[in-house]
Structure 1
Amino acid sequence: MCESFKNEYQLCEEIGRGQFGIVYRCFSPSSRSSFAVKSIDKRLLLDDDIDRQCLDKEPKILQILSPHPNILQIHDIFDSDNHLLIVTDLCKETTLYDRIISSAPFSERDACSLFTQIIDALAHCHRNYICHRDVKPENILFDSRNRVKLCDFGSAELFGGVEGRELMNGIVGTPYYVAPEVLAGREYNEKIDVWSAGVILYIMLGGVPPFYGETVEETFGAVLRANLRFPTKIFRSISAEAKDLLRKMLCKDVSRRYSAEQVLRHPWVTNGGMTNEMI
């Protein structure tokens, strides 16, 4: 550990482990607060330029996006010859994926409460010309106050700015959640994040993914066809407003697909998941 880190924080127990680093809880005596610190061994990345680029990019992107209540915040960075230490918000071990496995399907109000925070985070990203590119339940954490924290910006991309918006390319993402234009190998824009968030909402409400198959190849084929359905057995009690929003998010035609800002203005979101019958 860097000496400068030791001057600011006390290292506590290990809480996670990845390919290139270990995550610990740490404690700041000055603020009397606990944080998470990811310790990355840079020696493991010396022969992989792509990994080094991701390592350099993620902290920069999180600094651009901070502070936002629903995006994991960086509090400190310590860089030495062999290690990079990134101090972030301390979150619970359970992810949205864990909550879906244990509790889905959610009520519309509960789903909307979580979903609105996810979309608010994505809208903030897109306003800052950042596309996450790997939105999935595993990348959605919760802090001690149960607020959503969007994390893992290792695949994120800057897509424009004062020069004007530029299309992105490259196949990134995760099978159930990736947008069809990504799989098709076409250039794409930030609306791929909206598609992924739409898949998450569908799963929260229905308990199953909208596009799936027995194999990865079959799942990709279902995503490319993008034939959105609402099986009566599963969606009988789901409101017309929620289904309308899902159709606008899981729209194969990107020009007609909602932006994150449009999603935030949709009646189902503004009413907090309360349907017309409930209001």
Structure 2
Amino acid sequence: MCTALKTNYQLSEEIGRGRFGTIFRCFHPLSNEPYACKLIDKSLLHDSTDRDCLQNEPKFMTLLSPHPNILQIFHVFEDDQYLSIVMDLCQPHTLFDRMVDGPIQESQAAALMKNLLEAVAHCHRLGVAHRDIKPDNILFDSADNLKLADFGSAEWFGDGRSMSGVVGTPYYVAPEVLLGREYDEKVDVWSCGVILYIMLAGIPPFYGDSAAEIFEAVVRANLRFPSRIFRTVSPAAKDLLRKMICRDSSRRFSAEQALRHPWILSAGDTAELT
């Protein structure tokens, strides 16, 4: 590992492992504050896409920090062999783990979605689209604050520039991305809407037995609210879902508009909305 990293931090046990690197718990020797350190082996980066992702993450996260709902970077160290990123230490369980057990109460779902939309709106105000928002990339710190992470697929869209390229994850990717069209930052709002749907329903809005079938369902974008599943979900929540998971991106809500929706403003309190 980098000499500068060893000089500034004391690495402890391994707490996670990814395709290109390993995450360790680490401590600052003076303050004894705990952090996470992602240690990336650059020899495992075989193509330009991987190398771009490697450079993107610290670049965008440094620009976007500090924000209460975005994973914060504290130091980046690099030598010929490794890139080391010191960042917030988060819980081992992601939003995906919280969603596995089935539907989440509206009040809790609204609180989580408000925090996520605050992070996304912050990114968009600074001209950055995340482009791979999914439950696995949504973490929680020791105080249970939501933290949006993994900016390896992020892209600039400022100065009126559109984006292109198929990036994202089945279930959560917007239809205009799959169709190979140019697109804007509202692809992130679509992904947030899909996450909200799964939080409330326990199932994704578009699904299939393979990635190809999922993509076909996403492109059709036939949004339904099966009465058996949605009978206890409020009309206001379904209204917000329609505006976030809208196939026509010109009519789809922005993150700022979603934050101003009555369901978010009432914190999912259906009694207040009736």
Cross-structure match for 2:256 = 261
TM-score where L is the length of structure 2: 0.97
Cross-structure match for 2:182 = 187
Q: Provide structure 2 residue ranges, at least 5 long, that are not aligned to the other structure.
A: none
Cross-structure match for 2:53 = 54
Structure 1 residues 43 and 277 mapped into 2: Cα distance closer, same or farther (>3 Å)?
closer
Cross-structure match for 2:236 = 241
Shift in Å at residue 29 of structure 1? 2.3
Cross-structure match for 1:154 = 152
Shift in Å at residue 57 of structure 1? 1.5
Q: Distance in 1 between matches of 2:17 and 2:209?
A: 30
Q: Distance in 1 between matches of 2:270 and 2:63?
A: 36
Cross-structure match for 1:7 = 7
SS of aligned partner of 1:121? helix
Shift in Å at residue 179 of structure 1? 0.5
Contact 2:197 2:204 survives alignment (8 Å): yes
**Stretch deviating more after TM superposition (126-135 or 14-23):** 14-23
Give the aligned residue type for 1:148: L
Q: Give percent identity, aligned residues only.
A: 60
SS of aligned partner of 1:217? helix
SS of aligned partner of 2:151? coil
Cα RMSD of the aligned pairs, angstroms, is 1.2
Deviations 1:23-49 (A, max 9, x none): 10001122221000011112222x422
Give the aligned residue type for 1:240: P
Q: Provide structure 1 residue ranges, at least 5 long, that are not aligned to the other structure.
A: none
Cross-structure match for 2:118 = 120
Q: Distance in 2 between matches of 1:142 and 1:221?
A: 32
Structure 1 residues 218 and 65 mapped into 2: Cα distance closer, same or farther (>3 Å)?
same
Contact 2:236 2:273 survives alignment (8 Å): no
Q: How does 1:172-183 map to 2 (within 5 A)?
A: 172-183=167-178
Shift in Å at residue 216 of structure 1? 1.9
Shift in Å at residue 3 of structure 1? 2.2
Shift in Å at residue 52 of structure 1? 1.4
Deviations 1:180-214 (A, max 9, x none): 11111111000000000000000000101011122
Shift in Å at residue 13 of structure 1? 0.1
Q: How does 1:226-237 map to 2 (within 5 A)?
A: 226-237=221-232
Q: Distance in 2 between matches of 1:181 and 1:78?
A: 37
Cross-structure match for 1:34 = 34
Contact 2:266 2:273 survives alignment (8 Å): no
SS of aligned partner of 2:195? helix
Cross-structure match for 2:23 = 23
Give the aligned residue type for 1:56: Q
SS of aligned partner of 1:109? helix
Q: Distance in 1 between matches of 2:163 and 2:19?
A: 26
Cross-structure match for 1:204 = 199
Residues 1:139 and 2:145 are matched in the alignment: no
Shift in Å at residue 277 of structure 1? 5.0
